[in-house]
Amino acid sequence: MGLLLATQTACSSSELHAPDQHDIVVTGSLRSGTLLMPKTALYVTDMSRPGHTLEEATDLTGHFRLRLPPGTYKLHSAPVSSCPVDNTFIIPSGSPPVRLRIVASALTFTHCPPSRTEIVSATLPGRSIPKTALSIRGFLVPSPEEKGSLFLIPQASGGPVQEVVLGKDGSFLWTPPGPGSFTVQAALPGFCPVFQSFQIQKDARFLILSVHLLGKNGKCLPAKASVYSGAFALPPMPK
């Protein structure tokens, strides 16, 4: 969970690029538990351009305002007397303004729970941003660190089973035959078996599969499938 800011500050600036009409307004707050954290540095890295990091600070009330182009971003911070913040969020093209709630866990001597970044307004799961083709970008969390396969099965009778390639980083692309109910199945080394049903609407754009590592005693928890059409934050990565 260590925070390595030294590798990112060389290209840090007050903005990631020149202002653009397609930029999305991102506002939010930084908290440690329920306490707002004023005058605290935030580092936002554009994952499509490693090394390009925006450095911003919360104001006297613990709030901030950014303008970001659509993309995938890593968010880092080191609030005083709190565990480090290390989260990822995604803003798709055409997203409405996004509001974030960043929550850092209280610092303890023995354990630092992961921080979390929540999308508290924009598009809610399964709603709004129109698009012309049904194409799903997916993420399996935590990443498997080796390639694998997912099997997507329509619940309607007679539909074809689709196999999609799962990258080492947990990402995948899927073109469903259309809106409807599906079941995802997978057997990945070191993970509990994946068998989860979910619903795809016509405006769906992202599918997040939260899975669990296989316990030493063989105990397993069910996977969770979340479908989004707008901005969202990836679940915290286990350390």
- Identify whether the C-beta of residue 127 lies closer than 8 Å to the C-beta of residue 221: no
Q: Give pLDDT tens digits along the chain (239 positions).
A: 333 333 333 344 445 565 667 788 999 999 988 899 999 999 999 987 777 899 999 999 999 999 999 888 999 999 988 889 999 888 887 788 889 999 998 877 777 888 888 877 654 444 444 444 688 989 998 888 899 999 999 988 777 899 999 998 888 999 999 899 999 999 999 999 999 999 998 888 889 999 988 877 778 888 999 998 888 888 766 55
Residue 71 lies in a domain: yes
CB-based contacts of 211-215 (< 8 A; 24+ apart in sequence): 211/140, 211/141, 211/142, 213/142, 213/238, 214/190
103 and 140 both lie in a single domain? no
94 and 49 both lie in a single domain? yes
**Residue entry with tokens 């993420």:** 139
100 and 145 both lie in a single domain? no
Q: Give the domain-ending residue among 121, 149, 183.
A: 121
Residue 126 lies in a domain: no
CA distance 57 to 64: 7
Residue 14 lies in a domain: yes
25 and 96 both lie in a single domain? yes
pLDDT digits 0-9 by tens, 155-204: 887 778 999 999 988 889 999 998 999 999 999 999 999 999 999 988 88
Q: Give the domain-ending residue among 121, 156, 174.
A: 121
pTM equals: 0.65
46 and 109 both lie in a single domain? yes
Is residue 54 packed enough to be buried (19+ CB in 10 Å), middle (13-18) or exposed (0-12)?
Answer: buried
Residue 128 lies in a domain: no
Residue 211 lies in a domain: yes
Residue 70 lies in a domain: yes
117 and 150 both lie in a single domain? no
116 and 9 both lie in a single domain? yes
Strands in 52-205 per DSSP E: 53-57, 63-68, 71-77, 85-91, 98-104, 116-121, 136-141, 148-154, 162-166, 171-174, 180-186, 194-200
145 and 204 both lie in a single domain? yes
Residue 199 lies in a domain: yes
Domains in the chain: how many in total?
2
Range of the domain at 22: 5-121
36 and 85 both lie in a single domain? yes
Which CATH number does the domain housing residue 89 bear? 2.60.40.1120
Write down the pLDDT at residue 181: 93
Write down the pLDDT at residue 130: 45
